[in-house]
Amino acid sequence: MWNLMSIHIRQLTLACATILACLVAPSAQSAATGTPYAINGTCEGLPRVALKTAPGFCVGLAATGLGMPRGVLPMPDGSALLTDMGGWGKNKGRLLRLVRHQGGFDSITLLNGLDRPHGLQLGPDGLVYLGEAGRISRFNPTDAQPRLTTVIDQLPDDGRHPIKVFVFGKDGALFVNFGSATDNCEGRIDTSQPPLQQCKDMQTDPQRASIWRYTQQNGQWQGKQYAAGLRNSMALAIHQGTGALWQAENSRDYINRKLPGLKSDENLPHEELNLIHEGSNYGWPYCYDNNMAAPEFPDADCGLFAKPVMLLPGHAAPLGMAFYDAPGGLAAWRGSLIMGWHGYRNNGHRLVAIRFDNSGMPQGQPQELISDWGDAPGKHPMGAPTDIKIDKEGVIWITEDRNGDLLIMTPVRMH
């Protein structure tokens, strides 16, 4: 559909006064009639979707028909960049620019043929960094036709978790997720080895199931493993007060197949919120939850591993998170960690906030900002929050890969 649409769009540009006026996908306003979201008024100029939110917020439909949107990056001029992964096949992804108009956003395709793109971050150098499965590139966001310059390549791009998510530390270092190649080392266990050396997945070079830290040295990005034992670090965030790196873990599946008597894995294992320390190991695949030995590795000494700071609901699948530090945001949530739970099982499909205290540590349990987000025909589809970004006005930008849209959760302004 998109290829045919692109052909028609290119033909239309011959009769247009400007490229920007015509080289666009259907606007969110015109697409709203075809969305599974019921529209109920407006939310700061966008079609307001029928979602249950915490007081002080509304959710607007910014754009639909975006393919498989994953990463989003709001820009200072009010536009946004967005990655459409294009599915799990290689080289089907796109980079889009979304431009605001009355009632929605228009999408302009900037790049095609990307390999499972996801991560988007604005670097300290003012350039935008884009993560594909096997590399991280950067480009000038002011260019009408951006050119990618590879800064880190030959990253592991196979197996179960090839997607690259990354964040910049306060010192400009780049922290990158190297997801595990397997669920829990299935088919890769050598029981002839000592208990904590039996998983061959942990013997690869570079080592998977870890976070790597990259810094620039003489104009080149050099990396080393920063922390290990992390199955898939799709949600990473830097606390601006302390500079600490926080990670939300996507834990294993199918533990009930390995634990006799456990009829369902609906709530096990828990996802985790981890405070990442350099050199620490967080236990995957040998241990789960609060240092419980995995059934495949009953002799593992889990006391050797770092414990999570907080356990999150099983299979919530946190895919994006960011601290709510915006000066224009709602004071009630300032300093909280906003997290999207992408999971399709009972504990997923919601947006939550975890409050942090003055010392930079979480306090209390997650509180729902968007709730009751299951499939409700005639009202809304099951939520699939993927990437989470927060702009200086306290607006929360949310991609939904399964629903193909971009939602914008806005503080309700007093007019």
Going by pLDDT thresholds of 50, 70 and 90, the confidence category of residue 204 is confident
Going by pLDDT thresholds of 50, 70 and 90, the confidence category of residue 203 is confident
**At residue 3, does pLDDT exceed 90?**
no
Question: Residue 17: inside a domain, yes or no?
Answer: no
Q: Of 302, 149, 135, 287, give the one whose Cα is nearest residue 209.
A: 287
Point out which residues pair with 94 in neighbouring strands: 84
- Residue pair 130/148 in contact (Cβ under 8 Å)? The answer is yes
What CATH number should be reported for the domain holding residue 290? Answer: 2.120.10.30
Going by pLDDT thresholds of 50, 70 and 90, the confidence category of residue 206 is confident
Q: What are phi and psi of 287, to 5 degrees?
A: -140, 160
What is the C-alpha to C-alpha distance for residues 385 and 317, in angstroms, rounded to an integer? 10
pLDDT tens digits, 53-91: 999 999 999 999 999 999 999 999 999 999 999 999 999
What is the C-alpha to C-alpha distance for residues 334 and 6, in angstroms, rounded to an integer? 42
Q: What is the domain count for the chain? A: 1
Q: In this predicted structure, what is the pLDDT of residue 30?
A: 38
Going by pLDDT thresholds of 50, 70 and 90, the confidence category of residue 32 is low
**At residue 1, does pLDDT exceed 70?**
no
**At residue 21, does pLDDT exceed 60?**
no
Q: How many CA atoms lie within 13 A of 320 on its CB side?
A: 28
**At residue 15, does pLDDT exceed 60?**
no
Q: In this predicted structure, what is the pLDDT of residue 84?
A: 99
Q: Of 257, 275, 274, 254, give the one whose Cα is nearest residue 266.
A: 254
What is the C-alpha to C-alpha distance for residues 176 and 221, in angstroms, rounded to an integer? 12
- Residue pair 114/93 in contact (Cβ under 8 Å)? The answer is yes
Q: In this predicted structure, what is the pLDDT of residue 414?
A: 54
Question: Residue 20: inside a domain, yes or no?
Answer: no
**At residue 50, does pLDDT exceed 90?**
yes
Q: Of 115, 121, 232, give the one whose Cα is nearest residue 178.
A: 232
pLDDT, mean over the chain? 92
* Percent residues over pLDDT 90 in the chain: 88
**At residue 9, does pLDDT exceed 90?**
no
Structural domain including 283 reads 39-411
Amino acid at 256: N
Residue 302 CA, chain-centre distance (Å), reads 29
What is the C-alpha to C-alpha distance for residues 140 and 157, in angstroms, rounded to an integer? 25
pLDDT tens digits, 83-141: 999 999 999 999 999 999 989 999 999 999 999 999 999 999 999 999 999 999 999 99
Question: Residue 115: inside a domain, yes or no?
Answer: yes
Q: In this predicted structure, what is the pLDDT of residue 105?
A: 97
- Residue pair 405/66 in contact (Cβ under 8 Å)? The answer is yes
Find the mean pLDDT for residues 17-30: 36
Structure tokens at 174: 């780049």
pLDDT tens digits, 186-198: 999 999 999 999 9
Amino acid at 106: D
pLDDT tens digits, 335-390: 999 999 999 999 999 999 999 999 999 999 999 999 999 999 999 999 999 999 99
**At residue 23, does pLDDT exceed 50?**
no
User: CA torsion angle for 330, 333, 338, 340 (degrees, to 10)?
Assistant: -80
- Residue pair 288/251 in contact (Cβ under 8 Å)? The answer is yes
Amino acid at 74: P
Q: In this predicted structure, what is the pLDDT of residue 27?
A: 40
pTM summary value: 0.92
Question: Residue 19: inside a domain, yes or no?
Answer: no
pLDDT tens digits, 234-266: 999 999 999 999 999 999 999 999 998 999 999
**At residue 160, does pLDDT exceed 70?**
yes
Q: In this predicted structure, what is the pLDDT of residue 175?
A: 99
Q: In this predicted structure, what is the pLDDT of residue 25?
A: 41
Tokens 């999570």 -> residue = 308
Amino acid at 341: W
Residue 189 CA, chain-centre distance (Å), reads 30
Q: What is the 3-state secondary structure (H, E, C) of the chain?
A: CHHHHHHHHHHHHHHCCCHHHHCCCCCHHHHHHHCCCCEEEEECCEEEECCEECCCEEEEEEECCCCCEEEEEECCCCCEEEEECCCCCCCCEEEEEEEEECCEEEEEEEEEEECCCCCEEECCCCCEEEECCCCEEEECCCCCCCCCEEEECCCCCCCCCCCCCEEECCCCCEEEEECCCCCCCCCCECCCCCHHHCEHHHHCCCCCCEEEEEEEECCEEEEEEEEECCCCCCEEEECCCCCCEEEEECCCCCHHHCCCCCCCCCCCCCEEEEEECCCCECCCCCEECCCEECCCCCCCCHHHCCCCCEEECCCCCEEEEEECCCCCCCHHHCCCEEEEECCCCCCCCEEEEECECCCCCECCCCEEEEECCCCECCCECCCCEEEEEECCCCCEEEEECCCCEEEEEEECCCC
Residue 17 CA, chain-centre distance (Å), reads 37
Question: Residue 4: inside a domain, yes or no?
Answer: no
Question: Residue 71: inside a domain, yes or no?
Answer: yes
Question: Residue 31: inside a domain, yes or no?
Answer: no
Structure tokens at 373: 């987000």
Q: In this predicted structure, what is the pLDDT of residue 413?
A: 74
Q: In this predicted structure, what is the pLDDT of residue 24?
A: 39
Question: Residue 178: inside a domain, yes or no?
Answer: yes
